[in-house]
Amino acid sequence: MHTRPISRRAGAFDSSGIRKVFDLAARLEDPINLSIGQPDFEMPAAARAAAKDAIDAGRNGYTPTQGIAALRERLESQVRAELGQPQRSLCVTSGSSGALNLALMSLVDPGDEVIVFEPAFVMYRPLVEFLGGRCVAIDTAPTFQVDVDRVAAAITPATKAILLNTPANPTGVVATADTVAALARLADSRGVTIISDELYRAYCYDGPFASPAAHSENVVVIDGLSKSHAMTGWRVGWVHGPKPVVDACTMLQQYTFVCAPQVGQWAGLAALDAPMEAPLAECRRKRDMLMAALRGRYRFVEPGGAFYLYPEAPGGSGKAFAERAVDEEKLLVVPGSVFGAADTHFRIAYTVSDATLGRGIAALTRLARGT
């Protein structure tokens, strides 16, 4: 049978490195999987009950594009009060990745530049390039903190947006309050929009979360319930920011995702009232347990948030180390080459059971000795 070629756009990209690790995990018997970036605790019981009630009540159809009123209005009033910005608008989206897609579609034209900070979440570059934009990468190693002076030097007349992620995936590093304030001032002074990916904002272990949106009404924020409430499969996110941008996101959602899943939205509304202190404290405990075990064996920047550790790879190559970890220990980690140009580190996701984390620590200890 003659197979017609796929589009140049699709052909320009390979499966993500993380997806390849997932596929590898499915083929291994009893692997030590420290590659999956999702919580290991259950979504709140109240959210599970609300989802069941919504199904039984027949709430299974489309919703308004911008989200069910109860959830959207609750979230919108919450962010307006938090930021002191009564004009800020919000649209409920199909996951935070949907929010990011819509925000970029609303802001980026072919030829526009978007500044990203590497190592960066694997979706950023492809999403920008799908739209004909160009990523301008700023390498944040070795501290993984944003240098505002380097950002200022990277801005050109073609720069449309700065894509900030704090707490960051894959490094777990949290941008300081001074940094986000300075970045917001810089962006406003140069007519550039900050897209602030705040999906891990609930995971700030050593101090309060700081958003650039607190310093500028022009910042577009991406958020959701996947990480904070263990609802990765329910696809409930949101975008908030200036009304013209959010209106554009809402219009574009009509022609792409249509709306977020209705049952997930009702579950999300209930999740907002659930106490999450205990599972988040567990994540911090696991972070501390992992750092204590690996300190002196691996070099790493202490992560202040998210649920990742990003050590330097023994031998210098994250890809080679990840391959050796699979071959020798059936240990799955993600090489740093997935997140940018540098292949010097690897990512550990520590939201796993204590038993799995203990196995992982033992394997990492043996791998460190074998170098």
Q: How does DSSP assign 73-134, residue by residue?
A: HHHHHHHHHHHT-TT-EEEEEEHHHHHHHHHHHHH--TT-EEEEEES--TTHHHHHHHTT-E
pLDDT of residue 3 exceeding 90, the answer is: no
pLDDT given for residue 371 in this prediction: 59
Tell me the pLDDT of the chain averaged across its residues.
94
- Residues of the chain above pLDDT 70, percent: 95
* Total number of domains constituting the chain: 2
The rounded distance, in Å, linking the Cα atoms of 27 and 31 is 9
Domain-located, residue 88: yes
Beta strands 236-241 and 220-224: pairing type? Answer: antiparallel
Query: What confidence category does residue 12 fall into, taking pLDDT thresholds of 50, 70 and 90?
Result: confident
pLDDT in tens, 247-293: 999 999 999 999 999 999 999 999 999 999 999 999 999 999 999 99
- Secondary structure letter of residue 68 according to DSSP: -
| pLDDT 10s digits, 188-199 | 999 999 999 999
- Domain match, 251 and 108 both: yes
Q: Are 277 and 204 in contact (CB under 8 A)?
A: no
Q: Which domain holds residue 349?
A: 8-43+276-369
Q: How far is CA 175 from CA 144, 164, 206, 321, in A?
A: 9, 9, 12, 28
The answer to whether residue 304 is domain-embedded is yes
Helix count and strand count (H, E) for the chain: 13, 12
Based on the domain organization, do 200 and 318 belong to the same domain? no
pLDDT confidence bin for 369, thresholds 50/70/90: confident
Check whether residue 177 and residue 288 sit in a common domain. no
Q: Are residues 244 and 304 located together in one domain of the fold? A: no
- What pLDDT score does 27 carry? 75
Q: Are 192 and 225 in contact (CB under 8 A)?
A: no
Query: Is 3 within a domain?
Result: no
161 in helix, strand or coil?
strand
Confidence of residue 11 (pLDDT cuts 50, 70, 90): confident
C-alpha–C-alpha distance, residues 24 and 124, integer Å: 23
Which residue has better confidence, 281 or 16?
281
The SS3 assignment for 299 reads coil
Both 263 and 285 in one domain: the answer is: no
Q: Is residue 144 located within the same domain as residue 247?
A: yes
| Last residue of one domain, picked from the residues 239, 271, 303 | 271
pLDDT for the residue numbered 8: 80
Query: Residue 238, SS3?
Result: strand
Domain match, 103 and 178 both: yes
Contacting residues for 146 by C-beta, under 8 A, at least 6 apart: 117, 138, 140, 164, 175, 179, 183
Nearest CA among 315, 354, 359, 310 for reference residue 336: 310
What's residue 15's pLDDT? 61
Whole-angstrom distance, CA of residue 355 vs CA of residue 140:
33
The mean-pLDDT minimum among 24-38, 80-94, 189-203, 266-280 falls in 24-38
Closest residue by Cα to residue 241 from 212, 221, 224, 216: 221
Q: Does 96 fall in a domain?
A: yes
Residue 139: its H or E element? strand 134-139
pLDDT exceeds 70 at position 179: yes
My answer on whether 108 and 123 are in the same domain is yes
134 and 12 in a common domain: no
In the listed set 251, 271, 291, which residue is the last one of a domain according to the structure?
A: 271
Is 137 part of any domain? yes
Average pLDDT over residues 196-210: 96
